[in-house]
A and B are shown apart, each in its own frame.
Chain A
Amino acid sequence: MLLRARSLDKRFGGVAALEAVDVAFERGAVHAVIGPNGAGKTTLINLLSGIYRPDSGSISFQNQDLTGKPPHEFAAAGISRTFQNLQVFFNMTVLENVMTGRWLHERCSLACALLRLPSLARAERACREAAAALLDTVGLARWADARADNLPYGALKRLEIARALAAEPRLLLLDEPAAGLNPSETREIDELIRRTAARGVTVVLVEHNMKLVMEVSQHVIVLDYGRKLAEGEPRAVSRDPRVIEAYLGAEACST
């Protein structure tokens, strides 16, 4: 197992956002986390990236215990993520956003930075090229030198993915990567997820777009009211009557 989380609990005030949730992610697969609004999907992603600290339970990644560690140690262990509400660095160019994603692979002492030693110039050139190549794979190469706040919404979503990939993670957590995108943009995300998984990166996808989930994922976890309702292979889960009632039923009522 790449990542194993046992009986995660997270409460906000008196409200339980997650209760006794166990998850295990196998290496090299695409996993999806689905569930109605407020089911605790983003809470789970925030726990698995160290943004939230669980009230109880444990998280181990590649047999390393990360429970209670700060976010930057989750990242250093090999977990990278994107955000549902965009967290792009709007004070930078598009290329610089992705270069920042390479932070963990750039060893740069304070003296080296202040004095601009020659080794730094070489490393910066390599970093720039790696970032430019990633922008190319997500189709943003022509925006490289634009300020991030000049990009349209769909491009920002892909920029976040490129930035997360720049960290060369073992596990990539995508929080609603297709939310707010049109069908052709969604297809691009679909393609990007497949290519990422093909390179051996394990992907965990939180998503409302069922078509995308069914197409790209090999394993689905269904959350409802902060508890794990079901999990398994996508087709089997979509036929599970409990899932249909909780998830699809709830959605049918809301529309």
Chain B
Amino acid sequence: MASSAGARPSASRTPLLALAILIAALPLALPNNYTYEIAILVGLNAIVCVGLNLLIGYAGQISLGHAGFFGLGAYGSAILAARGGWPASISIPVSLIGVALLAWAIGRPILRLKGHALAMATLGFGIIVSIVLATEDRYTGGPDGMAVPPLASFISGEKTWYWIVAAALIAAVWLARNLIESPRGRALRALHGSEVAAGALGIDAAAHKLSAFVISALFAAAAGALSAHYAGFITPGKASFLHSIELVTMVVFGGMASTFGAVVGAAVLTTLPQLLTVFKEYEMVLLGAVMMLTMIFMPRGLVPTLERAFAAARQISR
């Protein structure tokens, strides 16, 4: 019994390997720069969603303000690189450290809130960030946005960026899955399962919620910084409320408490609007219909529902 249980951690590396192979093989199916662009966008959103899923799916805490962290990571590095002339290899880590400190300072008071109150507080934070980014035009260029220097002089083109974002996404998934499969991951899931029982086992709820919040903010900020240097331009729209909602939708759609669900959710909801453009003015209606039908028939989200279906099918065939 103990031996069969002990076999699990090594077996769980297979999905990560499968994801890496998929990402490595994907360029064969990408005909032009436009499709590369979409793939990069998917990767960046997926990094945010993998982090956000730690907070929403595993720790059970909502955030409607993570685009704010995305925007701060992006603008932080952009401002240091463009206005301060810092190389990106320094401006990105400094920006991430700044975001981590801010997330810690904000998370401490607001993570005491629960449910709707927490949603409102994070929503408020996101709105404040996007207002500040739009109005502090001396630094941020205001609503028109600002130009961002490249990551390094020799890094350009969609193909190079594809591999950079791919490496970042695989690192993000690896880190998130390591965390989830550690005692700390169990502590986070315990908070979601029963906060009172978690406390009775010695798990400090406030500290663990805060660490999930800071880690998820860091993932968002890292994706934001990469996105700014990739696009060479950034506008406050990236920090908007709408973007926060999109990110949460991706996590819920792909499946909460599933790291690969977060990746799949980001992939589907980033590419679907592009595919649906052939329907012109019905695009948004169709997108909405697809999402509603998925939630009605797969309330747990895409990946967990499919996992359970496969597990059930395997049992029947046995």
- Is B202 in contact with A51, judged by CB distance below 8 angstroms? no
Total count of chain A residues near the partner, CB < 8 A:
49
Give, as a whole number of angstroms, the nearest-CB distance from B182 to chain A. Answer: 4
Q: Give the distance in Å from the alpha carbon of A83 to the alpha carbon of B257 in the complex.
A: 25
Of the candidates B2, B179, B199, B205, the one whose C-beta lies within 8 Å of that of A51 is: B199
- Is A145 in contact with B5, judged by CB distance below 8 angstroms? yes
- Is B178 in contact with A116, judged by CB distance below 8 angstroms? yes
Which residues of chain B come closer than 8 Å to A99, judged between CB atoms?
183, 186
- Is A89 in contact with B194, judged by CB distance below 8 angstroms? yes
**Interface hits, B174-188 → A, CB 8 Å:** 175, 178-179, 181-187
- Is A83 in contact with B197, judged by CB distance below 8 angstroms? yes
**Interface hits, B1-49 → A, CB 8 Å:** 1-2, 4-6, 9
Which residues of chain B come closer than 8 Å to A50, judged between CB atoms?
199
- Is A88 in contact with B203, judged by CB distance below 8 angstroms? no
Which residues of chain B come closer than 8 Å to A123, judged between CB atoms?
183
- Is A100 in contact with B5, judged by CB distance below 8 angstroms? no
Q: Does A240 contact B (CB under 8 A)?
A: no
The dominant DSSP class at the A interface is helix
Total count of chain B residues near the partner, CB < 8 A:
33
Give the interface of A toward B (CB within 8 A): 49-51, 70-72, 74-76, 80-81, 83, 87-92, 95-96, 99-104, 106, 108, 110, 112-116, 120-121, 123-125, 127-129, 132, 141, 144-145, 163-164, 167
Show 20 residue pairs from A and B whose CB-CB distance is below 8 angstroms, ordered by the A residue. Answer: A51-B196, A51-B200, A72-B204, A74-B200, A75-B199, A75-B202, A92-B189, A103-B186, A103-B203, A113-B182, A113-B185, A114-B178, A116-B178, A123-B183, A128-B6, A129-B2, A132-B2, A145-B4, A163-B201, A167-B201
* Apart from A51-B199, A74-B200: 14 A-B pairs, beta carbons within 8 A: A49-B200, A71-B200, A75-B201, A80-B200, A89-B190, A91-B193, A96-B189, A100-B198, A104-B201, A115-B175, A115-B178, A116-B182, A132-B1, A132-B2
